Every structure is written in structure tokens, then in C-alpha cells.
């Protein structure tokens, strides 16, 4: 095959192979915590944000029992500890878990605290509890003020950590959670239109919206979000349309799981492009794309079958 024709063919295969969202078969869990508002407007805002993010998480998980919400008077330090310890015994290694913190945080130069009814909970306490979670894929979103103080402390190789501020010194009430809620509740953040919103997409959307809101107010931005972790582009935070089918079908989920693995192989090949001879690169790329195309046909067939029987 001539090189130009081969590249054109490979591009076509790549387009076909990536038109369906990646959905893993492992179970997804979530914990959303809305801390103390202090004022009526914040109390209501935090509850609404927690409820909307929880609804999106329930669609992602396919089971309300795997999504827990602690807000208002239920968001106590003891309840948070109890819930996280329970999740540590329930989660399996192949599962994913998302934890979202909403509210006000403080930082005294040494320790971060999430404001709660009764005693506050510290970053050290939360970090120790997070480290007990066995899930292979983890996302922690701390959308509170001063949340940047927790980013470096909580980051791990298997964990994506997002904070609404870049340090503990950005201490005013934040806007990030409002736009994260929008990112997971609508398809606005689904930039590649694959019916899946990843952590990376939600982060970019919320970050952009925060910046736009300060610009619209003609005011100086008081928060600058941070993201740490390598798997943000893979970690799913919302599903829409056909992607929801895989939540309840084991066969389709397994096909998507295989596709996730092949997608990772594809990224590996692309990363090696500069180090490979041209023919060797396209040989490897062709092999991976053919595998993706084969899986895509199986996924399409299964989705058609499910669509006809539901």
C-alpha cells in the first residue's frame, strides 16, 4: 500500500474506532460532601450542587446505592469517617471512586480544614482515609476555598486530584463547584461528543467558565484551579446517551473494558512516534487501529441489539 494511501486508510480506521465512548465494566462509586455554608445562600447552594452532582454520579454508577451524599447536618466529621471506612471495605481494586468536597475550607499555613457542623475535618485526617480506599482509579475534587493546600498532600499515582484554588492562600468563596455541576449535568463539557464527560473535560470546562465569570464581573480572579494526575482524560465523571447502556449490560461493559486497554496501547504507540522509524510506527499503529475497529463493530452490534430489546 502506498504510504499516502496507507495514512489515509489509517486515519479513517482511527475515526471509526474512536466514535464510541469508553466505558469500563468495573463498578463506579461516589461520595459527595457538602460542608457548612455559614449563610443561608451558601447552605442552599451547596445542597443543590451536591444533589445535582450526585444525580450525575448515579447515572454513571447505574446504582443509587453506590452513591452517597452527606450534606447539611449529616456532613459531620464522624459521618464522613464512617462513610469512607465503609467504602474502604466495599470497594474492589478494579473499581473507580469519585469524592467531591463542596463548601468552605480554611488553611492556617500548616493544616487545611473543611468546615463542617461541629468539629471540622483536616486534610491529614481525610488523606489517611483516602489512602485506605483500594480502588485502582480515584478522583478527588476539592472545590472549597483554600483547597489548593490539599492538592500535593493528596496526590497519588492512581489518583486525580482537582482543587478549585492553586494554594491555601486563595481563601474566598469559590465558583468552581457550580460549573463542575454544569459540566456533569449537561453535555456542554463533552467536547468530542462521545456521550462521556471525563475529568479532564469537566475540569477544562469549569476552569474556563470560572475565568469567564470573573471577566464578566470585571473583577480580579480570586481562584485558579489545579489538576494533578495522569488519568484525568480517562476518568469518567458523567455519561449520556448510548454510554448509559453499558452501565447495565455486562457484555457491552466487557467490550468497552477491552477497548480501554487497546486505547491505552494506541496512546503508547503515539508517544513512541518520534523514536520509531516511519514504517515501524505505521505498522504498530495499523495493528492497534485494526483491533480497535474490530471491537467497534462488536460494540455497535451489541448496542443495536440492546436498542431493539429495551
Report the pLDDT averaged over residues 59-82. Answer: 95
Report the pLDDT averaged over residues 4-11. Answer: 55
Write down the domain spans for the chain.
Answer: 3-20+244-309, 28-243
DSSP 308: H
Say whether pLDDT at 14 is over 60: no
Nearest Cα to 161, choosing from 207, 67, 222, 226?
Answer: 226
Per the CB < 8 A criterion, the answer to whether 138 and 97 are in contact is yes
Q: How confident is the model at residue 175 (pLDDT cuts 50, 70, 90)?
A: very high
Cα 279–284–288 angle (5° rounding)? 145
Report the pLDDT averaged over residues 257-279. Answer: 80
Confidence (pTM): 0.80
Percent of the chain with pLDDT over 90: 62
Report the pLDDT averaged over residues 15-22. Answer: 43
Top-confidence residue, 158 or 263: 158
Top-confidence residue, 244 or 14: 244
Report the pLDDT averaged over residues 1-25. Answer: 49
197-213: per-residue pLDDT in tens? 999 999 999 999 999 99
Number of residues assigned to the chain: 310
Fold of 28-243: Rossmann fold (3.40.50)
From the number of C-beta atoms within 10 Å of its C-beta (0-12, 13-18, 19+), residue 220 rates as exposed
181-195: per-residue pLDDT in tens? 999 999 999 987 878
Q: CA-CA distances (angstroms) from residue 27 to 58, 255, 256, 305?
A: 11, 15, 13, 23
26-56: per-residue pLDDT in tens? 789 999 999 999 889 999 999 999 999 999 9
Q: Which three cell numbers stand for residue 165?
A: 484554588
Amino acid at each position: 500500500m502506498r504510504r499516502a494511501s496507507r495514512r489515509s486508510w489509517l486515519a479513517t480506521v482511527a475515526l471509526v474506532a474512536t466514535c464510541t465512548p469508553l466505558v469500563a465494566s468495573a463498578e463506579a462509586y461516589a461520595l459527595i460532601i457538602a460542608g457548612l455554608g455559614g449563610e443561608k445562600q451558601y447552605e442552599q447552594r451547596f445542597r443543590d450542587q451536591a444533589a445535582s452532582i450526585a444525580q450525575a454520579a448515579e447515572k454513571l454508577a447505574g446504582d443509587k446505592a453506590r452513591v452517597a451524599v452527606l450534606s447539611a447536618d449529616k456532613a459531620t466529621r464522624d459521618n464522613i469517617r464512617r462513610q469512607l471506612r465503609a467504602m474502604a471495605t466495599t470497594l474492589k481494586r478494579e473499581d473507580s471512586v469519585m469524592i467531591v468536597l463542596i463548601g468552605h475550607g480554611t488553611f492556617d499555613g500548616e493544616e487545611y480544614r473543611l468546615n463542617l457542623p461541629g468539629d471540622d475535618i483536616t486534610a491529614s485526617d481525610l488523606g489517611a482515609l483516602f489512602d485506605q480506599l483500594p480502588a485502582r482509579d480515584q478522583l478527588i475534587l476539592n472545590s472549597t476555598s483554600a483547597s489548593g493546600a490539599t492538592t500535593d498532600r493528596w496526590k497519588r499515582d492512581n489518583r486525580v486530584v482537582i482543587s478549585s484554588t492553586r494554594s491555601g492562600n486563595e481563601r474566598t468563596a469559590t465558583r468552581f463547584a457550580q460549573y463542575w455541576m454544569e459540566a456533569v449535568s449537561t453535555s456542554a463539557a463533552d467536547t468530542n461528543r462521545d456521550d462521556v464527560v471525563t475529568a479532564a473535560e469537566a475540569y477544562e470546562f469549569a476552569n474556563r467558565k470560572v475565568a469567564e465569570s470573573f471577566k464578566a464581573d470585571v473583577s480580579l480572579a480570586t481562584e485558579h484551579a489545579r489538576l494533578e494526575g495522569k488519568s484525568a482524560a480517562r476518568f469518567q465523571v458523567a455519561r449520556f446517551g448510548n454510554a448509559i447502556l453499558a452501565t447495565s449490560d455486562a457484555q457491552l461493559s466487557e467490550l468497552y473494558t477491552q477497548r480501554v486497554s487497546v486505547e491505552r496501547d494506541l496512546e503508547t504507540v503515539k508517544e513512541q512516534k518520534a523514536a520509531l522509524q516511519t514504517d515501524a510506527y505505521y505498522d504498530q499503529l495499523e495493528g492497534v487501529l485494526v483491533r480497535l475497529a474490530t471491537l467497534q463493530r462488536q460494540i455497535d452490534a451489541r448496542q443495536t441489539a440492546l436498542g431493539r430489546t429495551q
